[in-house]
Each structure stands twice: as C-alpha cells, then as structure tokens.
Amino acid sequence: MILDTLANAQRYHALGQKFVKAFEYLAATDLAALEKGKYEIDGDNIFAIINEYETVDPANEQMESHRKYIDVQYIVKGTELIGHDFLQQQQPSKAYDEDKDYMLFAERPPFFSHLEQGYFAVFFPTDLHMPNIMAGTPTQVKKVVIKISVQ
C-alpha cells in the first residue's frame, strides 16, 4: 500500500504507464465538478468511480480486498480514516465475488490512516482495506476511486 499526496504522485510513475494515466487524470480533471458515477479513462484497464457519502463507524464494517484491480483512492473533499492490513492467512467472511471483484474479511484493522483533501491511498491485491471510516464524527466525503487492472 502507498499513502501520499497528489503533489508527490510523480514518485510512483515507475509503477507503470497505468499509474501515470491514473495520476494524470486526478491532476487534470475538475473532480469537484464531476457527478457520482463511473468514468472511463482507458476502457476496462483504468476507470474512475466518483462517490459521495457520510463516513461511518468502523464497528459494523469489514475490510475488503480485490484481485482484478488495484485501488487508488483519492479524497476530493472531506476527511476519513482508512483501516488497513496485509493480506496473509486471513479467511474471507464473504467469498470472492468475481463479477464485483471483492471479498470481505471480519478481522479488525491493526491500524488506520487519516486521509483528507489531496491525499491518496493505493491498495494492491495483497492489501486489506476498510475505507469510509469517520475520524471522530461523521462527515461528508467526496472520493474518487481509480481502478487499475492488474493485467
């Protein structure tokens, strides 16, 4: 996993052209003006999902993981915590759903990171993550999740 600010995105261009395209999209797009929904960047290889929500208490949440896509989660507005861990020997509480590309894990995250406007987190298939968590009290967040295919 990677945690950083968009101002430092060029540091991660070595991860490949898909990451370059994803970070260029984040830097060049008026994300605040986009409506909720899915936006194609490079077909099924790279796309963005814009979401707006109120952060939640972690008590009823579970960590998730993906197999087909890497997540780049970028905060456009607001503040949230994201719980995370490394995928090791944990057993899913919800089996992998190939169509939706996720599985869930009941374990509690051993640590949380604080993300706010301008920050991003990258979660690879070997990373568990629990996004959308309130930092103290519930707050409104606008987030872009860019999905980068691992193929």
- CATH number of the domain at 145, please: 2.60.120.370
Residue 50: Cβ within 10 Å count? 17
Q: What is the pLDDT of residue 114?
A: 97
How many domains are there within the chain? 1
Q: What is the arithmetic mean of pLDDT over 5-21? A: 97
The model's confidence at residue 145, banded by pLDDT at 50, 70 and 90, is very high
Q: What is the arithmetic mean of pLDDT over 32-42? A: 97
3-state secondary structure of 118: coil
Question: Which structural domain, as residue segments, surrounds residue 72?
Answer: 2-149
